[in-house]
Structure 1
Amino acid sequence: MFNLTVSENILRMVLGLGVLQGMLLAALIYFYPKGDRSVNKFLAGFILGVSAVMALPMIIHFVGWQNSFFVQSFPLIPGPFLYLYIRSFKETITWRKAWPHFIICIIWLIPIYFNLLKFSKLYPDSEMIPIQALRSPTTIFLIMGRPVLQVVYYWLARRELISYQRSLRHLFSETSRLDLNWAKFLVNGFLVLVGVFFISFPLLFVFPNNISLILLTNMSVGAPYIYIATYLGIKQYTIWQAQPGVNKETAEATIQKVVDIETNGTNGKKPKPVKTAQSDDRMDVLVKKIIALMEEEKLYQEAELTLQQVANKLQVPAYQVSQALNEGMMKSFYDVVNNYRVEDAKRLLLDEKSRNHTILSIGFEAGFNSKTTFNTVFKKFTGLTPTEFREKQNVLTTAS
């Protein structure tokens, strides 16, 4: 029993430090001078939400389970914040859009209050929540309903992330500054946290005397997660921050129109606009102008070329350029530009004059901004890395 108490005290101390750090990290995110507060406020809210969930065992320990109804909806807070954070990557989230997602947190308190009131009258002197209360169908529904709702928000956040990731390919030729691996970690890590609770909840029935220790252990998993989420979130750029000279409103309008164009052209859920001969002619003219920019002016050699820059060159709205590429060339902006870069790199790799040039210098000349990006994109289009491509061609040349 002594060892168990020591373990609980250590976990409470670790958890307390984690909660405190979570609050400080949320403040750091919100007030970070280089960040966009309209986006970061949702990440800060998410970190605070996870911290609040981590604090649950300690709060319940101090106030008693009979009086803990006011904190029982804490586990419902992180999911909406995560979803709104991912969604805010491409649009401004107003209070009107946000508040409906938090109504459930208030509604959930009503049945929790009456359920706790019922069992607190039956077991007024019990220090730990009785196993009879845990086994109540109402209690099981109220406890397990929370992670189920969080899984729903995980799915919504994941869907928004996939949509955002797909839209980037219509706006940028190089997306390393908007790398979304960290966002995938954020979303998938949240699912892991929810999954840990699903796994640990049955243990409460198997080891009813160790409820406190099980909950403390469960919540401690969140501490390293919020550290990593904060570190990676601070370094994330928004779409408008990645495009010099483009304000937030213009970027939001462009991405929304690009998403609409892609939706109309791929899943068939929205009716396509009726085309006329005149609109087809304009589309053909625009496609030819884009090809001319790439082949004659070699615009693809600009390392961080964006859709907006091409639109500025052509003096047309960015969404029209995207539409011309999608419908006229059946490709995204990313694929069009990088196809030209890969073809140019292949030409340079086979050119006798470039035989003594390094792979990296050839990549830079073709418009790539790093060796990693060059290798990744080149292999995607050819099935080989630049080095493998050059070696294969040398072997073929020698053999012939």
Structure 2
Amino acid sequence: MKDYIFNIHDVILMMTVAESILLALLQAAMPAQNRLYGRLLSAFLLVIATGSATTLILWNDQVHIGPTVDQYWIPYFLMAALMLKGPALYLYVASITRAQFTLRPTHLVHLAPALVTCLIMALFAIDSNDLRHLWAMGDEQPERLVTFLWDSAKLVPLVYSFAAVALVQRYRSELKDEYSHFSSTEPRWLNILTLGFFASWTWTMIVHILAKYTSPETADYLGIADNYITFILINGLFTYSLIYAHQLLETRAEETRAPAEDKPSESAIDRVKAAMETDKIYLQQNLNIEQFSARLDLPVKEVSSVINKHFGTNFFEFINTYRVEEAKRLLADPKATEKTILDILLESGFNSKSAFHRFFKRLTGMSPSEYRKDKGAH
């Protein structure tokens, strides 16, 4: 509790509220961004705004809306916001990483933590004083229940942020199963942001636990850091959605991802080998597994099974390993001395200089120029 109306920490909360609302409205007003992920981002920002506003009202005695609202309604809005911010983040991440993602009735389960919390508060008549552990003499003190509510409000977002991080990691893995080339910038920034929220909410949980064993003042100062981190993260998330989210490559829908249960057939293995060694399909730039499968007239799941189970790798590694071998052949060919490194990487199927150099050095232990020199093709 602060001794004066607004200090810098209160101002940060107010800025978070104002900016979250502004960014949510701006997101909603963008026709080009009028997609599900845009609406989910707006929902997440409004939840953050609600949580920050109600936190300020609950803990700052100088901020009032009205006696009834302050005492009886604010706890519901606060707890609902705390319980919904995790699901909102998770669904936003799902909407930009899962192919053909749509909201379904089954997703209503994510409202359960907020609904159960509000129901418990209604049944036991929990108000603002209860949440602040301020009880009048002679009043029944629902201390254990209030402690449970606060514990849940810290744990639920943490669990959902961990699930969001797992979604991003899974998405990055799926990209390697489906594409021979992709930009790592967009997935990397999404990973940083989700890890940021996970770290922030982990810190919140740690501070909450420490508060049980330290002075309120110490816990207060430690907890204030979360307000600043949240302010930074919502700006980062909005910027990401504006610049990068629409550039993310789609991965296959969940129902098409399961690999074939049986061992790949010899026929399928031979066709994949022929496509690589005879047809040299890997020379096609920006090749993905759907195009590859279409060329072989085989189901994607069967081709994926051959690559994963028989060759023991993913599509990204499989294709680019052949490309590196082709580049090695050209670099060592005395007849190709007139060709530049750029010419060779393009002829090998690569379309990114940085990706070519990174992959080539990882597989050979030397740069393309060093390899050419070592093989004597001057």
TM norm. shorter chain > 0.5: yes
- Name the structure 2 match of 1:66: 71
Q: Give the C-alpha shift of residue 374 in structure 1.
A: 1.3
- Name the structure 1 match of 2:168: 161
Matched, 1:152 2:159: yes
Which one scores higher on RCO, CA 8 angstroms, separation ≥ 6? 1
Matched, 1:105 2:114: yes
- Name the structure 2 match of 1:340: 322
Matched, 1:373 2:355: yes
- Name the structure 2 match of 1:256: 255
- Name the structure 2 match of 1:246: none
Q: Distance in 2 between matches of 1:138 and 1:223?
A: 30
Which of 189, 198, 212 is equivalent to 2:196? 189
Q: Distance in 1 between matches of 2:373 and 2:16?
A: 53
Contact 1:131 1:208 in 2 (8 A): no
Q: Distance in 2 between matches of 1:118 and 1:237?
A: 40
Matched, 1:95 2:101: no
Following superposition of structure 1 onto structure 2, how do residues 169-180 of structure 1 map, counting pairs within 5 Å?
Answer: 169-176=176-183, 179-180=186-187
Following superposition of structure 1 onto structure 2, how do residues 307-386 of structure 1 map, counting pairs within 5 Å?
Answer: 307-355=289-337, 357-386=339-368
Matched, 1:137 2:141: no
Aligned residue type for 1:53: G
Q: CA RMSD in A?
A: 3.8
Contact 2:9 2:227 in 1 (8 A): no
Contact 1:182 1:233 in 2 (8 A): no
Contact 1:11 1:216 in 2 (8 A): yes
Deviations, residues 248-281 of structure 1 (Å, cap 9, x unaligned) = xxx644x5322x11xx7xxxxxxx34x6xxxx6x
Structure 1 pair 149–14 and aligned structure 2 pair: CA distance change class (3 A): closer
Q: Distance in 2 between matches of 1:35 and 1:367?
A: 33
Structure 1 pair 23–381 and aligned structure 2 pair: CA distance change class (3 A): farther
Contact 2:129 2:135 in 1 (8 A): no
Q: Give the C-alpha shift of residue 370 in structure 1.
A: 1.6
| Identity in percent | 24
SS in 2 for 1:305: coil
- Name the structure 2 match of 1:231: 239
SS in 2 for 1:176: coil
SS in 1 for 2:21: helix
Q: Distance in 1 between matches of 2:33 and 2:268?
A: 36
Q: Distance in 1 between matches of 2:225 and 2:20?
A: 17
SS in 2 for 1:169: helix
Structure 1 pair 379–106 and aligned structure 2 pair: CA distance change class (3 A): same
Q: Give the C-alpha shift of residue 209 in structure 1.
A: 6.6
Q: Distance in 2 between matches of 1:41 and 1:119?
A: 31
Structure 1 pair 392–32 and aligned structure 2 pair: CA distance change class (3 A): farther
Q: Give the C-alpha shift of residue 217 in structure 1.
A: 4.9
Q: Distance in 2 between matches of 1:309 and 1:341?
A: 17
Deviations, residues 338-390 of structure 1 (Å, cap 9, x unaligned) = 11111112222223344464434432222222222112222333344434544
- Name the structure 2 match of 1:48: 46
**Unmatched tracts of structure 2, length 5 or more:** none
Moved more, 32-41 or 138-147: 32-41
Q: Give the C-alpha shift of residue 176 in structure 1.
A: 1.0
Contact 1:177 1:237 in 2 (8 A): no
- Name the structure 2 match of 1:290: 272
Deviations, residues 197-227 of structure 1 (Å, cap 9, x unaligned) = 2344345985547988776553232111111
**Unmatched tracts of structure 1, length 5 or more:** 244-250, 265-271
Q: Distance in 2 between matches of 1:213 and 1:113?
A: 31
